[in-house]
Amino acid sequence: MKKFISIIMTVYNQERYLAPAIKSVLIQTRPEFELLIWDDGSTDRSVEIARNFAQIDQRVRLVAAAHLGRARSLKAAIQQTTSPYFGLVDSDDLLAPTALEETFAVLDARPEIGLVYTDYQVIDKDNQLLGYGQRSSIPYSKERLLVDFMIFHFRLLRREVYEQVGGINEEFERAQDYDLCLRLSEVTNVEHLAKPLYYYRQHSLSVSHTQRVEQIMASQNAINQALQRRGLSDTYELDVEIVGRYCLRPKE
């Protein structure tokens, strides 16, 4: 019997990009998976779109919940799944067709690896390629992760190591994935699969665009906590720079 994979997609008002995101998961070359779509109280057509997919593909399961916020909804969604491996796909991004097959192969063959992540490419609101993700060029190390979040997309995790570190910390509403990866790096080996198997979408309504300062401050908190856990807080002090950069773009 083939091992099962859970893909979790949390959604909040993403009617424009949700259908392509779901389709990118459903066309995976490894078909043995479930897709749990957790709607976080959307007020647009997101629930309707997700429900239509659930009606035509039995691998899709929809949970329409009250609005909890990103961290709480993500934690609740993961708790709804039981597969030994799981991954996260943002509802405005795209997964490359072989992403599950290739990341699964790493975890299945190497039990010492608790997390495998891939390279990514950046796309715009119209699916046009903008280039290779800058974080993909940063070599992974547990120490470098303290200042550079190179474990960006796509990530496939062993559930046992996720549970070992206590899962999503709801304190980090804007940096819950960075905090989680810092804690995972302290208990398991991490593998970098140097292939662009994820498409990260940049658009004016993304959290990284609208709440950039909040993300930076939340990341600062996550790093400081990691320094304390690692016994480095007496040796190092985190210095944060928030750099302003301005450009003009056509209105959408």
Could you tell me the CATH number of the domain that includes residue 44?
A: 3.90.550.10
Domain membership flag for residue 249: no
Domain membership flag for residue 11: yes
pLDDT of 1: 47
pLDDT of 245: 58
Q: Could you tell me whether strands 113-123 and 155-158 are parallel, antiparallel, or unpaired per DSSP bridges?
A: antiparallel
Query: pTM of the predicted model, to two decimals?
Result: 0.90
Domain membership flag for residue 167: yes
Structure tokens at 216: 């930076």
Domain membership flag for residue 112: yes
Domain membership flag for residue 177: yes
Domain membership flag for residue 250: no
Structure tokens at 10: 């949390």
CA proximity to 118, closest of 61, 83, 156, 145: 156
* AA identity, residue 40: D
Helix ranges, the chain (H): 18-26, 46-56, 70-79, 99-109, 159-164, 176-185, 207-210, 212-229
Residue 124 · residue 203 · CB < 8 Å: yes
Domain membership flag for residue 245: no
pLDDT of 125: 92
Domain membership flag for residue 235: no
Quote the number of domains for the chain: 1
pLDDT of 45: 97
Structure tokens at 43: 């007020």
pLDDT < 50 regions, the chain? 1
Domain of residue 113 covers 5-229
For Cα atoms 219, 44, 206, give the angle at the middle one, nearest 5 degrees.
Answer: 25
Q: Could you tell me whether strands 155-158 and 60-65 are parallel, antiparallel, or unpaired per DSSP bridges?
A: unpaired
